[in-house]
Amino acid sequence: METSVYTKFETELAVRPDDIDLYQHVHSTRYLDYVLAARFEQMDRYYKMSMQEFAKLGLGWFMASATINFKRPLGWGDRMVVRTWIVHFTDTGCRVAFEIDKLPTGKRSCDGHADYTLVTLATGRATPLPADIKARYSI
């Protein structure tokens, strides 16, 4: 995985009963939900620019692609730490890497990255990443 010069942020979450699949562990699609929940919290808390503020500007983040490397399953009642950080920026977005570790052991459940594109909500089309937003997220 690429090395980042940007700060890693952590959010603690818990597995919910509706996250569990037929095999009694967290369904694979829920891991991206955990990353999204962590990013929403981190955008507001650390970058001081929430997703709602993007929406007020007529902007939003669309996921273009995602890669998840599964290591160990999470189960009902488990707690986790979701760690995310920006790896790099593009003209219209960024790559966000993530790690999800089970608590209290710290054993890796999964890791990966997602590519996001900044879009104008009215059109759904990619838009150049404004310099002030890139600066705010370059911590």
pLDDT tens digits for range 41-80: 999 999 999 999 999 999 999 999 999 999 999 999 999 9
Q: How confident is the model at residue 128 (pLDDT cuts 50, 70, 90)?
A: very high
The pLDDT of residue 1 is 43
The pLDDT of residue 3 is 53
* Whether 47 contacts 122, CB under 8 Å: no
* Whether 60 contacts 122, CB under 8 Å: no
Q: Which residues contact 40 (CB under 8 A, 6 or more apart)?
A: 50, 51
Q: Mind listing the pLDDT tens digit for each residue in 26-43?
A: 999 999 999 999 999 999
Task: For strands 125-126 and 108-120, give the pairing.
Answer: antiparallel
Apex CA 46: angle with CA 40 and CA 50, to 5°? 40
Helices (H), 1-139: 30-45, 51-56, 131-136
Q: Which residues contact 76 (CB under 8 A, 6 or more apart)?
A: 15, 17, 19, 20, 24
Residue ranges covered by each domain of the chain? 9-136
Bridge partner list, 62: 117
Q: How confident is the model at residue 4 (pLDDT cuts 50, 70, 90)?
A: low
**Cα–Cα distance between 19 and 107 in angstroms, integer?**
19
Third-level CATH fold of 9-136? Thiol Ester Dehydrase; Chain A (3.10.129)
